[in-house]
Amino acid sequence: MKVTLTRSSPFAVVVLSAFLFFNGPVFAGSLEPTSPPGPTMKTLDEIEPGIPISQEDLPLVIDQPGTYYLTENLQYNQTLGTAISINYTSAVLDMNGYTLRGMNTGTAHGVATYRADAVEIRNGSVSNFSIGVFGDFFTDNCRLTDLNVSGNINRGISLGGGHGNLVRRCTASFNGQAGIYAYSSTTITECMASNNAGQGITGGISNTVRNCIVKDNKWRGIAVGDHSIIEGNTCMNNIDVGIYVGKGSVVRGNCVKGSSVHGIAVTYGCTVTNNTAYENGNIGIHGGNGGTIIGNTAYGNQNFGIAGAAGCLISDNTSRNNVKDGIYAGNDCTVKDNNCFNNGLEGDGAGIRALSNNRIQGNHVTGNDRGIDIDSTGNLIVQNSARSNTTAYTIVGGNTVGSITSDPTTAGPWANFSY
Protein backbone atom coordinates (compact mmCIF):
# COMPACT_ATOMS: atom_id res chain seq x y z
CA MET A 1 0.00 0.00 0.00
CA LYS A 2 1.33 3.44 -0.89
CA VAL A 3 1.43 5.95 2.00
CA THR A 4 1.54 9.70 1.22
CA LEU A 5 2.62 12.16 3.91
CA THR A 6 0.98 15.62 3.66
CA ARG A 7 0.92 18.80 5.73
CA SER A 8 -1.68 18.54 8.60
CA SER A 9 -4.88 20.45 7.92
CA PRO A 10 -6.54 22.81 10.48
CA PHE A 11 -9.59 20.51 10.51
CA ALA A 12 -7.51 17.52 11.68
CA VAL A 13 -6.05 19.59 14.55
CA VAL A 14 -9.54 20.61 15.69
CA VAL A 15 -10.80 17.01 15.65
CA LEU A 16 -7.82 15.76 17.70
CA SER A 17 -8.26 18.56 20.28
CA ALA A 18 -11.94 17.71 20.69
CA PHE A 19 -11.12 14.01 21.23
CA LEU A 20 -8.66 14.78 24.01
CA PHE A 21 -11.06 17.27 25.69
CA PHE A 22 -13.99 14.82 25.95
CA ASN A 23 -12.03 11.66 26.68
CA GLY A 24 -9.38 12.98 29.07
CA PRO A 25 -5.74 11.88 29.27
CA VAL A 26 -4.82 8.29 28.41
CA PHE A 27 -2.70 6.39 31.00
CA ALA A 28 -0.54 3.29 30.36
CA GLY A 29 -0.41 2.11 33.97
CA SER A 30 2.14 2.46 36.76
CA LEU A 31 5.81 2.27 35.88
CA GLU A 32 6.83 1.33 39.42
CA PRO A 33 7.92 -2.36 39.73
CA THR A 34 5.86 -4.46 42.13
CA SER A 35 9.00 -6.20 43.49
CA PRO A 36 12.80 -6.08 43.13
CA PRO A 37 14.12 -7.75 39.93
CA GLY A 38 15.33 -11.33 40.37
CA PRO A 39 18.58 -12.85 39.01
CA THR A 40 18.48 -13.69 35.32
CA MET A 41 21.96 -15.14 34.76
CA LYS A 42 23.06 -18.66 35.62
CA THR A 43 26.12 -19.25 37.75
CA LEU A 44 29.15 -21.04 36.32
CA ASP A 45 28.23 -24.18 38.24
CA GLU A 46 24.71 -24.07 36.78
CA ILE A 47 26.14 -23.87 33.25
CA GLU A 48 28.85 -26.49 33.77
CA PRO A 49 29.22 -27.81 37.31
CA GLY A 50 32.90 -27.93 38.26
CA ILE A 51 35.31 -29.07 40.93
CA PRO A 52 38.00 -26.50 41.83
CA ILE A 53 41.68 -27.42 42.06
CA SER A 54 44.07 -25.35 44.18
CA GLN A 55 47.65 -25.69 45.39
CA GLU A 56 46.85 -27.82 48.40
CA ASP A 57 45.19 -30.46 46.19
CA LEU A 58 48.48 -31.51 44.55
CA PRO A 59 49.26 -34.23 43.74
CA LEU A 60 45.71 -34.90 42.53
CA VAL A 61 44.14 -38.06 41.13
CA ILE A 62 40.91 -37.50 39.19
CA ASP A 63 38.97 -40.74 39.42
CA GLN A 64 35.43 -39.39 39.36
CA PRO A 65 33.40 -37.82 36.52
CA GLY A 66 33.09 -34.08 36.12
CA THR A 67 34.79 -30.90 35.03
CA TYR A 68 37.77 -29.88 37.13
CA TYR A 69 39.22 -26.38 36.95
CA LEU A 70 42.26 -24.59 38.28
CA THR A 71 41.72 -21.60 40.56
CA GLU A 72 45.33 -20.39 40.58
CA ASN A 73 48.81 -21.07 39.25
CA LEU A 74 50.14 -24.33 40.69
CA GLN A 75 53.63 -25.46 41.63
CA TYR A 76 54.40 -29.19 41.89
CA ASN A 77 57.26 -29.57 44.32
CA GLN A 78 58.15 -33.22 43.75
CA THR A 79 60.53 -34.76 41.24
CA LEU A 80 58.58 -38.03 40.81
CA GLY A 81 55.00 -38.99 40.06
CA THR A 82 52.37 -36.81 38.40
CA ALA A 83 50.96 -33.48 39.49
CA ILE A 84 47.45 -34.16 38.11
CA SER A 85 46.49 -37.72 37.09
CA ILE A 86 43.28 -38.37 35.18
CA ASN A 87 42.06 -41.92 35.57
CA TYR A 88 38.39 -41.48 34.69
CA THR A 89 36.92 -41.66 31.20
CA SER A 90 35.36 -38.43 29.90
CA ALA A 91 36.72 -36.25 32.70
CA VAL A 92 37.50 -32.63 31.77
CA LEU A 93 40.40 -30.58 33.10
CA ASP A 94 40.00 -26.87 32.40
CA MET A 95 43.20 -25.10 33.41
CA ASN A 96 41.30 -21.84 33.26
CA GLY A 97 44.27 -19.94 31.82
CA TYR A 98 46.60 -20.83 34.71
CA THR A 99 50.05 -22.45 34.69
CA LEU A 100 51.17 -25.73 36.23
CA ARG A 101 54.93 -25.79 36.90
CA GLY A 102 57.31 -28.52 37.93
CA MET A 103 60.78 -28.58 39.47
CA ASN A 104 62.67 -28.77 36.15
CA THR A 105 64.38 -31.95 37.32
CA GLY A 106 63.45 -35.60 37.81
CA THR A 107 60.85 -37.69 35.98
CA ALA A 108 57.56 -36.12 37.07
CA HIS A 109 54.73 -35.53 34.61
CA GLY A 110 52.58 -32.43 34.67
CA VAL A 111 49.18 -33.78 33.58
CA ALA A 112 48.76 -37.45 32.65
CA THR A 113 45.93 -39.76 31.62
CA TYR A 114 46.05 -43.43 32.59
CA ARG A 115 43.63 -45.93 31.05
CA ALA A 116 41.09 -43.17 30.48
CA ASP A 117 39.36 -42.44 27.18
CA ALA A 118 37.68 -39.28 25.90
CA VAL A 119 39.47 -37.03 28.38
CA GLU A 120 39.68 -33.31 27.63
CA ILE A 121 42.53 -31.08 28.83
CA ARG A 122 42.32 -27.43 27.85
CA ASN A 123 43.24 -23.81 28.28
CA GLY A 124 46.46 -23.54 30.23
CA SER A 125 50.25 -23.90 30.43
CA VAL A 126 52.44 -26.77 31.61
CA SER A 127 56.20 -26.35 32.02
CA ASN A 128 59.32 -27.63 33.77
CA PHE A 129 58.31 -31.30 33.99
CA SER A 130 59.91 -34.37 32.46
CA ILE A 131 56.88 -34.52 30.15
CA GLY A 132 54.33 -31.73 30.18
CA VAL A 133 51.19 -33.61 29.14
CA PHE A 134 51.29 -37.41 28.93
CA GLY A 135 48.83 -40.03 27.70
CA ASP A 136 49.56 -43.71 28.20
CA PHE A 137 49.14 -46.46 25.60
CA PHE A 138 45.46 -46.86 26.47
CA THR A 139 44.62 -43.19 25.88
CA ASP A 140 42.11 -42.92 23.03
CA ASN A 141 39.71 -40.22 21.79
CA CYS A 142 41.24 -37.54 23.99
CA ARG A 143 41.25 -33.81 23.24
CA LEU A 144 44.07 -31.44 24.09
CA THR A 145 43.18 -27.86 23.18
CA ASP A 146 44.66 -24.42 23.76
CA LEU A 147 47.64 -25.62 25.78
CA ASN A 148 51.11 -24.09 26.03
CA VAL A 149 53.73 -26.71 26.90
CA SER A 150 57.23 -25.29 27.15
CA GLY A 151 60.53 -25.83 28.86
CA ASN A 152 59.93 -29.47 29.72
CA ILE A 153 62.93 -31.78 30.11
CA ASN A 154 61.77 -34.30 27.51
CA ARG A 155 58.62 -34.02 25.41
CA GLY A 156 56.08 -31.26 25.66
CA ILE A 157 53.10 -33.46 24.74
CA SER A 158 53.40 -37.25 24.50
CA LEU A 159 50.42 -39.43 23.55
CA GLY A 160 51.22 -43.12 23.62
CA GLY A 161 47.75 -44.33 22.67
CA GLY A 162 46.47 -44.14 19.23
CA HIS A 163 42.84 -43.88 18.26
CA GLY A 164 41.01 -40.66 17.61
CA ASN A 165 43.09 -38.28 19.71
CA LEU A 166 43.04 -34.57 18.89
CA VAL A 167 45.69 -31.94 19.62
CA ARG A 168 44.43 -28.51 18.59
CA ARG A 169 45.72 -24.96 18.98
CA CYS A 170 48.58 -26.03 21.23
CA THR A 171 52.03 -24.44 21.42
CA ALA A 172 55.08 -26.59 22.20
CA SER A 173 58.40 -24.78 22.50
CA PHE A 174 61.84 -25.09 24.08
CA ASN A 175 61.29 -28.68 25.18
CA GLY A 176 64.30 -31.00 25.59
CA GLN A 177 63.05 -33.53 23.03
CA ALA A 178 60.04 -33.41 20.70
CA GLY A 179 57.50 -30.67 21.04
CA ILE A 180 54.51 -32.93 20.26
CA TYR A 181 54.58 -36.73 19.96
CA ALA A 182 51.65 -38.96 18.98
CA TYR A 183 51.98 -42.71 18.63
CA SER A 184 49.26 -43.14 15.98
CA SER A 185 45.87 -42.10 14.61
CA THR A 186 46.03 -38.62 16.09
CA THR A 187 45.03 -35.34 14.46
CA ILE A 188 47.36 -32.45 15.27
CA THR A 189 45.96 -29.21 13.93
CA GLU A 190 46.55 -25.45 14.23
CA CYS A 191 49.51 -25.99 16.54
CA MET A 192 52.91 -24.33 16.77
CA ALA A 193 56.08 -26.29 17.56
CA SER A 194 59.26 -24.26 17.76
CA ASN A 195 62.76 -24.27 19.23
CA ASN A 196 62.54 -27.81 20.55
CA ALA A 197 65.76 -29.79 20.98
CA GLY A 198 64.23 -32.72 19.09
CA GLN A 199 61.58 -32.84 16.39
CA GLY A 200 58.83 -30.26 16.32
CA ILE A 201 55.97 -32.72 15.69
CA THR A 202 56.58 -36.45 15.48
CA GLY A 203 54.93 -39.83 15.89
CA GLY A 204 54.06 -43.18 14.43
CA ILE A 205 51.55 -44.36 11.85
CA SER A 206 48.30 -42.91 10.53
CA ASN A 207 48.68 -39.45 12.00
CA THR A 208 47.32 -36.24 10.49
CA VAL A 209 49.24 -32.98 10.89
CA ARG A 210 47.34 -30.05 9.45
CA ASN A 211 47.74 -26.26 9.40
CA CYS A 212 50.61 -26.12 11.90
CA ILE A 213 53.64 -23.84 12.10
CA VAL A 214 56.84 -25.77 12.82
CA LYS A 215 60.09 -23.84 12.99
CA ASP A 216 63.58 -23.63 14.42
CA ASN A 217 63.62 -27.14 15.84
CA LYS A 218 66.98 -28.84 16.35
CA TRP A 219 65.94 -31.98 14.52
CA ARG A 220 63.27 -32.57 11.89
CA GLY A 221 60.28 -30.28 11.74
CA ILE A 222 57.53 -32.87 11.14
CA ALA A 223 58.39 -36.59 11.12
CA VAL A 224 55.67 -39.24 11.21
CA GLY A 225 55.20 -42.85 10.14
CA ASP A 226 53.36 -44.73 7.42
CA HIS A 227 49.93 -43.81 6.04
CA SER A 228 49.92 -40.31 7.46
CA ILE A 229 48.56 -37.03 6.06
CA ILE A 230 50.65 -33.85 6.24
CA GLU A 231 48.67 -30.90 4.92
CA GLY A 232 48.81 -27.12 4.91
CA ASN A 233 51.76 -26.72 7.28
CA THR A 234 54.55 -24.16 7.29
CA CYS A 235 57.98 -25.54 8.24
CA MET A 236 60.92 -23.17 8.50
CA ASN A 237 64.57 -23.44 9.49
CA ASN A 238 64.51 -26.90 11.01
CA ILE A 239 67.68 -28.97 11.31
CA ASP A 240 67.82 -32.02 9.00
CA VAL A 241 64.51 -32.45 7.12
CA GLY A 242 61.52 -30.12 7.17
CA ILE A 243 58.91 -32.88 6.57
CA TYR A 244 59.59 -36.62 6.66
CA VAL A 245 56.92 -39.32 6.28
CA GLY A 246 56.74 -43.10 6.01
CA LYS A 247 55.32 -45.15 3.17
CA GLY A 248 51.89 -44.59 1.68
CA SER A 249 51.57 -41.09 3.11
CA VAL A 250 50.15 -37.92 1.57
CA VAL A 251 52.03 -34.62 1.72
CA ARG A 252 50.10 -31.73 0.19
CA GLY A 253 49.89 -27.97 0.31
CA ASN A 254 52.83 -27.39 2.64
CA CYS A 255 55.49 -24.70 2.56
CA VAL A 256 58.99 -25.77 3.61
CA LYS A 257 61.93 -23.37 3.81
CA GLY A 258 65.44 -23.37 5.13
CA SER A 259 65.86 -26.98 6.28
CA SER A 260 69.50 -27.89 6.70
CA VAL A 261 69.08 -31.01 4.55
CA HIS A 262 65.96 -31.80 2.49
CA GLY A 263 62.79 -29.77 2.49
CA ILE A 264 60.45 -32.76 2.07
CA ALA A 265 61.60 -36.39 2.14
CA VAL A 266 59.19 -39.29 1.69
CA THR A 267 59.56 -43.04 1.47
CA TYR A 268 57.85 -45.70 -0.66
CA GLY A 269 54.56 -45.02 -2.45
CA CYS A 270 53.83 -41.51 -1.16
CA THR A 271 51.85 -38.75 -2.86
CA VAL A 272 53.43 -35.29 -2.79
CA THR A 273 51.27 -32.54 -4.31
CA ASN A 274 51.07 -28.76 -4.41
CA ASN A 275 53.89 -28.07 -1.98
CA THR A 276 56.50 -25.32 -2.09
CA ALA A 277 60.05 -26.21 -1.03
CA TYR A 278 62.68 -23.50 -1.22
CA GLU A 279 66.11 -22.53 0.04
CA ASN A 280 66.76 -25.89 1.66
CA GLY A 281 70.29 -27.14 2.25
CA ASN A 282 70.09 -30.17 -0.04
CA ILE A 283 67.11 -31.38 -2.12
CA GLY A 284 63.83 -29.49 -2.12
CA ILE A 285 61.56 -32.55 -2.54
CA HIS A 286 62.99 -36.06 -2.30
CA GLY A 287 60.52 -38.73 -3.44
CA GLY A 288 60.79 -42.43 -2.65
CA ASN A 289 60.18 -45.40 -4.94
CA GLY A 290 56.79 -45.58 -6.64
CA GLY A 291 55.74 -42.12 -5.56
CA THR A 292 53.63 -39.41 -7.16
CA ILE A 293 55.07 -35.89 -7.28
CA ILE A 294 52.63 -33.47 -8.90
CA GLY A 295 52.08 -29.73 -8.96
CA ASN A 296 54.91 -28.69 -6.64
CA THR A 297 57.25 -25.71 -6.74
CA ALA A 298 60.92 -26.06 -5.78
CA TYR A 299 63.43 -23.23 -5.98
CA GLY A 300 66.66 -21.99 -4.53
CA ASN A 301 67.67 -25.37 -3.09
CA GLN A 302 71.34 -26.24 -2.74
CA ASN A 303 71.10 -29.51 -4.65
CA PHE A 304 68.24 -30.77 -6.83
CA GLY A 305 64.90 -29.03 -6.80
CA ILE A 306 63.00 -32.34 -7.08
CA ALA A 307 64.39 -35.88 -7.03
CA GLY A 308 62.36 -39.02 -7.69
CA ALA A 309 63.58 -42.54 -7.05
CA ALA A 310 62.53 -45.56 -9.12
CA GLY A 311 59.06 -45.74 -10.60
CA CYS A 312 57.88 -42.23 -9.79
CA LEU A 313 55.39 -40.05 -11.63
CA ILE A 314 56.83 -36.53 -11.73
CA SER A 315 54.38 -34.21 -13.41
CA ASP A 316 53.32 -30.54 -13.66
CA ASN A 317 55.98 -29.23 -11.30
CA THR A 318 57.96 -26.01 -11.47
CA SER A 319 61.62 -26.21 -10.47
CA ARG A 320 63.85 -23.19 -10.80
CA ASN A 321 67.03 -21.54 -9.60
CA ASN A 322 68.38 -24.63 -7.90
CA VAL A 323 72.14 -25.14 -7.59
CA LYS A 324 72.10 -28.46 -9.41
CA ASP A 325 69.34 -30.18 -11.41
CA GLY A 326 65.80 -28.88 -11.47
CA ILE A 327 64.43 -32.46 -11.62
CA TYR A 328 66.41 -35.64 -11.16
CA ALA A 329 64.73 -38.95 -12.05
CA GLY A 330 66.10 -42.39 -11.24
CA ASN A 331 64.85 -45.40 -13.20
CA ASP A 332 61.44 -46.29 -14.62
CA CYS A 333 59.90 -42.87 -14.01
CA THR A 334 57.48 -40.78 -16.01
CA VAL A 335 58.59 -37.16 -16.16
CA LYS A 336 56.09 -35.01 -18.01
CA ASP A 337 54.74 -31.49 -18.37
CA ASN A 338 57.21 -29.91 -15.96
CA ASN A 339 58.68 -26.42 -16.21
CA CYS A 340 62.36 -26.16 -15.25
CA PHE A 341 64.39 -23.00 -15.62
CA ASN A 342 67.62 -21.38 -14.44
CA ASN A 343 68.95 -24.52 -12.76
CA GLY A 344 72.65 -25.38 -12.50
CA LEU A 345 73.46 -22.07 -10.85
CA GLU A 346 77.08 -23.08 -10.27
CA GLY A 347 77.58 -24.19 -13.85
CA ASP A 348 76.79 -27.88 -13.47
CA GLY A 349 73.13 -28.80 -13.53
CA ALA A 350 70.30 -29.68 -15.88
CA GLY A 351 66.71 -28.69 -16.13
CA ILE A 352 65.91 -32.43 -16.15
CA ARG A 353 68.37 -35.25 -15.64
CA ALA A 354 67.44 -38.92 -15.80
CA LEU A 355 69.01 -42.36 -15.63
CA SER A 356 67.39 -45.33 -17.43
CA ASN A 357 64.02 -46.58 -18.70
CA ASN A 358 62.19 -43.31 -18.15
CA ARG A 359 59.60 -41.49 -20.26
CA ILE A 360 60.55 -37.81 -20.61
CA GLN A 361 57.69 -36.04 -22.35
CA GLY A 362 56.22 -32.60 -22.77
CA ASN A 363 58.59 -30.72 -20.49
CA HIS A 364 59.82 -27.16 -20.95
CA VAL A 365 63.40 -26.32 -19.95
CA THR A 366 64.79 -22.79 -20.14
CA GLY A 367 68.00 -21.07 -19.13
CA ASN A 368 69.64 -24.10 -17.53
CA ASP A 369 73.25 -25.19 -17.78
CA ARG A 370 71.92 -28.24 -19.67
CA GLY A 371 68.33 -28.48 -20.76
CA ILE A 372 67.69 -32.25 -20.72
CA ASP A 373 70.52 -34.56 -19.69
CA ILE A 374 70.07 -38.32 -20.16
CA ASP A 375 72.92 -40.31 -18.63
CA SER A 376 71.83 -43.87 -19.35
CA THR A 377 69.87 -46.00 -21.81
CA GLY A 378 66.32 -47.18 -22.44
CA ASN A 379 64.62 -43.81 -22.17
CA LEU A 380 61.92 -42.30 -24.38
CA ILE A 381 62.40 -38.55 -24.95
CA VAL A 382 59.60 -36.85 -26.90
CA GLN A 383 57.70 -33.57 -27.25
CA ASN A 384 59.98 -31.51 -25.03
CA SER A 385 61.01 -27.92 -25.64
CA ALA A 386 64.29 -26.24 -24.73
CA ARG A 387 65.30 -22.62 -24.95
CA SER A 388 68.31 -20.55 -23.93
CA ASN A 389 70.15 -23.40 -22.23
CA THR A 390 73.93 -23.60 -22.47
CA THR A 391 73.38 -27.04 -24.04
CA ALA A 392 69.83 -27.94 -25.03
CA TYR A 393 70.02 -31.77 -25.03
CA THR A 394 72.73 -34.10 -23.76
CA ILE A 395 71.62 -37.65 -24.51
CA VAL A 396 73.81 -40.76 -24.59
CA GLY A 397 73.21 -43.50 -27.16
CA GLY A 398 70.74 -46.30 -26.64
CA ASN A 399 67.67 -44.10 -26.14
CA THR A 400 64.57 -43.46 -28.24
CA VAL A 401 64.47 -39.77 -29.07
CA GLY A 402 62.02 -37.75 -31.14
CA SER A 403 63.70 -35.57 -33.72
CA ILE A 404 65.18 -32.34 -32.39
CA THR A 405 64.17 -29.32 -34.44
CA SER A 406 63.59 -25.61 -34.22
CA ASP A 407 60.80 -25.49 -36.81
CA PRO A 408 57.38 -26.65 -35.64
CA THR A 409 55.95 -26.32 -39.17
CA THR A 410 57.99 -29.27 -40.38
CA ALA A 411 58.21 -31.25 -37.15
CA GLY A 412 56.49 -34.56 -36.57
CA PRO A 413 54.10 -35.15 -33.63
CA TRP A 414 56.83 -36.59 -31.37
CA ALA A 415 59.53 -34.00 -32.08
CA ASN A 416 61.55 -32.21 -29.44
CA PHE A 417 62.28 -28.53 -29.91
CA SER A 418 65.35 -26.41 -29.39
CA TYR A 419 64.89 -22.73 -30.11
Give the model confidence (pLDDT) of 20-33 as tens digits: 333 444 444 455 55
Beta bridge partners of 125: 99, 148
Q: What is the pLDDT of residues 152-188, one digit of tens each?
A: 999 999 999 778 999 999 999 999 999 999 999 999 9
The DSSP line for 41-104 is SPPHHHHS-EEEE-GGG-SEEE-SSSEEEESS-EE---SSSEEEEE-STT-EEE-TT-EEE--S
pLDDT-based confidence at residue 39 (cuts at 50, 70, 90)? low
Report d(CA 397, CA 237) in Å as an integer: 43
- Sorted by where each starts, the structural domains of the chain and their CATH numbers stand as 48-227 (2.160.20.10), 240-419 (2.160.20.10)
- Name the phi and psi angles at 17, rounded to 5: -65, -40
Q: Of 204, 213, 257, 206, whose CA–CA distance to 232 is shortest?
A: 213
Report d(CA 174, CA 150) in Å as an integer: 6
* Residue 9 pLDDT exceeds 50: no
Task: Summarize the confidence of residues 377-392 as an average pLDDT.
Answer: 98
> What is the per-residue pLDDT for 6?
35
> What is the per-residue pLDDT for 149?
98
Report d(CA 98, CA 374) in Å as an integer: 62
Cβ atoms of 163 and 141 closer than 8 Å? yes
Q: What is the pLDDT of residues 80-134, one digit of tens each?
A: 999 999 999 999 999 999 999 999 999 999 999 999 999 999 999 999 999 999 9
Question: Residue 410, Cα to own-chain centre: how many angstroms?
Answer: 50
* Residue 243 pLDDT exceeds 50: yes
The DSSP line for 260-287 is SS-SEEE-TT-EEES-EEES-SS-SEEE
- Residue 21, classed as helix, strand or coil, is helix
CA distances (Å), 288 to each of 164, 177, 262, 335, in order? 28, 27, 13, 15
- Name the phi and psi angles at 20, rounded to 5: -70, -35
